[in-house]
């Protein structure tokens, strides 16, 4: 990806344009893009969960166009973020439990016992979910909560 600064407006292209018009003429077959003001675009690494890219700018020291990495400002309170995270956690574990729910239904309606391995697996899932919920509740910063992986 490359870009050019056109009087303060930065325009990005996937590659050098085949035809380029500027005050000096209509240019065909541009090979040395920098001679016309085209420079590579570098996208810095960032965490999409708590960082975002700002507006593209020209980094004259490195001769590239790039973006500042800004921290996302979360509008929600810490409690709201925790509640949201715990809701996501419970939905995820509910989906895992759903796979073996039919054993439970069969046991309730038909009297066929849930296999021991399945019962243990379901119990472990509930324990894991509870442990994650406890950990989430101990987190103190918004970034920690947003970044928490279960």
Q: Residues in the site for other proteins, rule: CB under 8 A?
A: 18-19, 21, 23-32, 35
Quote the least distance from Cβ 15 to other proteins, whole Å: 12
Please state, in angstroms and rounded to a whole number, the distance separating the CA atoms of residues 4 and 141. Answer: 39
Q: Which is nearer to other proteins, 18 or 98 (CB)?
A: 18
Quote the least distance from Cβ 22 to other proteins, whole Å: 8
Which tokens go with 59?
Answer: 């980094």
Instruction: Kindly tell me the sign of the dihedral angle through the C-alpha atoms of 93, 96, 98, 101.
Output: negative
Which tokens go with 33?
Answer: 């893009």
Quote the least distance from Cβ 37 to other proteins, whole Å: 13
Q: Which is nearer to other proteins, 30 or 114 (CB)?
A: 30
Q: Which is nearer to other proteins, 9 or 26 (CB)?
A: 26
| Helix, strand, coil shares, percent, the chain, to 5 | 45, 25, 35
């Amino acid at each position: 990806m490359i870009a050019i600064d056109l009087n303060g407006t930065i325009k990005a292209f996937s590659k050098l344009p085949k035809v380029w018009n500027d005050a000096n003429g209509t240019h065909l077959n541009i090979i040395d893009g920098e001679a016309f003001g085209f420079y590579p675009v570098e996208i810095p690494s960032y965490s999409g969960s708590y960082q975002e890219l700002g507006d593209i700018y020209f980094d004259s020291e490195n001769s590239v166009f790039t973006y500042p990495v800004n921290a996302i400002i979360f509008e929600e309170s810490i409690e709201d973020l925790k509640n949201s995270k715990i809701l996501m956690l419970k939905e995820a574990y509910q989906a895992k439990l759903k796979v073996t729910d039919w054993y439970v239904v069969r046991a309730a309606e038909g009297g066929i016992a849930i296999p021991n391995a399945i019962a243990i697996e379901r119990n472990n899932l509930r324990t894991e979910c509870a442990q994650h919920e406890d950990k989430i509740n101990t987190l103190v910063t918004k970034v920690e909560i947003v970044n928490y992986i279960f």
